């Protein structure tokens, strides 16, 4: 019997989950065994999973799960160097030259396990079957606006946290914008995708002017001086080999109106990053990194943005992913086989 083990998230500020109680019920009806770890932080309470028929395990007990269980989480595992023997479903961030990702692949190689990277669960047409993109875009745009608001007060953006829902976040931003003069203009690159749609929706709801670019506008390969002519730039594309540079290192000292970069795609250590003015992610405690002072330029690049709205983003993502989870009984076919092929190719290189 296929056994799915839903682990608790161990990453700070991570309350999301990729499976709802309704999804548990559907998987059990399909003949799967489902174990869900208790969690002190998960946005969806454990009682619903228990009532849906899941077996409940202790928080962070997945290393002792049966060897044939498929361990399912979202964000990174603790970086303790231990070999990984299970099959894991998660976001690995391991296939674009990221140093931490290379270490992760070495752990799988040492333990004989397999990574089914959620970023590489793709349909036959090459499109991802599930993504947190919309809420990443929505929250990333919000943090970028907060960064601009802090600049308006001569400050660096302070800590951000979890919101009860989108309305609470929007209402807070509208109130903060009402307290300053002027409004920033925004350029969104990748505006037609999930991430860009979420970012554009937040800006429109706040009454901000938005320039929307996608593949047609960036097909020339650059340079793109228009980016520097907007106060906020929101990068919403998933960079791969051949991606043009949107913000070169020279932007730090260039004449520009640009003062905030929201790198929502957030992959600064990748060889393909289109933003060359910074080299590390930011955090909930320190969401903005100042990379230039004359004139000011701040970058915000939080890599688990959807967890600012954990209930909405979890329900949305879990609904997209469930059809694929229902096919885990045939893990050697379809989206799972394609994900394993990515793993086999990249793990062979480490």
What is the rounded distance in angstroms from the CA atom of residue 88 to the CA atom of residue 316? 21
CB-CB neighbours of 254 under 10 Å: 15
Which residues make beta-bridge pairs with 105? none
DSSP H or E segment with residue 105: helix 99-111
Which residues make beta-bridge pairs with 232? 186, 260
Nearest to 136 by CA among 324, 316, 335, 347: 316
What is the rounded distance in angstroms from the CA atom of residue 208 to the CA atom of residue 58? 46
Q: Which residues are catalytic?
A: 75, 93
Tokens 């692949």 appear where?
105
Strand 114-117 to 209-213 pairing: unpaired
Q: Which residues 6+ apart lie within 8 Å of 3 measured at CB?
A: 32, 33, 34, 35, 66, 68, 69, 70
């Amino acid at each position: 019997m296929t056994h799915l083990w839903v682990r608790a998230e161990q990453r700070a500020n991570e309350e999301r989950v990729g499976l709802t109680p309704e999804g548990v019920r559907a998987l059990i009806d399909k003949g799967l065994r489902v174990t869900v770890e208790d969690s002190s932080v998960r946005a969806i309470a454990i009682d619903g999973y228990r009532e849906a028929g899941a077996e409940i395990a202790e928080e962070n007990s997945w290393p002792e799960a049966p060897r044939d269980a498929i361990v399912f989480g979202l964000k990174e595992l603790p970086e303790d160097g231990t070999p990984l023997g299970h099959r894991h479903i998660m976001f690995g961030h391991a296939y674009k030259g990221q140093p931490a990702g290379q270490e992760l692949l070495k752990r799988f190689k040492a333990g004989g396990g397999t990574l089914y990277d959620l970023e590489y669960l793709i349909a036959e047409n090459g499109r991802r079957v599930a993504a947190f993109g919309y809420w990443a875009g929505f929250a990333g745009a919000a943090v970028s606006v907060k960064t601009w608001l802090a600049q308006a007060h001569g400050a660096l953006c302070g800590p951000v946290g979890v919101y009860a829902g989108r309305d609470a976040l929007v209402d807070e931003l509208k109130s903060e914008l009402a307290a300053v003069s002027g409004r920033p203009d925004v350029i969104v690159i990748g505006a037609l995708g999930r991430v860009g749609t979420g970012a554009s929706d937040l800006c429109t709801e706040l009454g901000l002017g938005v320039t929307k670019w996608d593949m047609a506008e960036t097909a020339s390969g650059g340079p793109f001086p228009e980016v520097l002519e907007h106060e906020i730039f929101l990068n919403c594309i998933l960079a791969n080999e051949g991606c043009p540079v949107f913000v070169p290192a020279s932007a730090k000292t260039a004449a520009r109106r640009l003062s905030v970069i929201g790198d929502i795609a957030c992959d600064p250590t990748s060889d393909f990053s289109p933003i060359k003015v910074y080299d590390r992610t930011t955090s909930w405690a320190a969401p903005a990194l100042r990379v230039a002072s004359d004139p000011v330029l701040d970058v915000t690049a939080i890599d688990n943005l959807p967890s600012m709205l954990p209930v909405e983003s979890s329900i949305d993502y879990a609904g997209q992913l469930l059809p694929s989870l229902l096919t885990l009984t045939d893990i050697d076919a379809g989206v799972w086989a394609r994900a394993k092929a990515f793993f086999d190719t990249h793990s062979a290189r480490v």
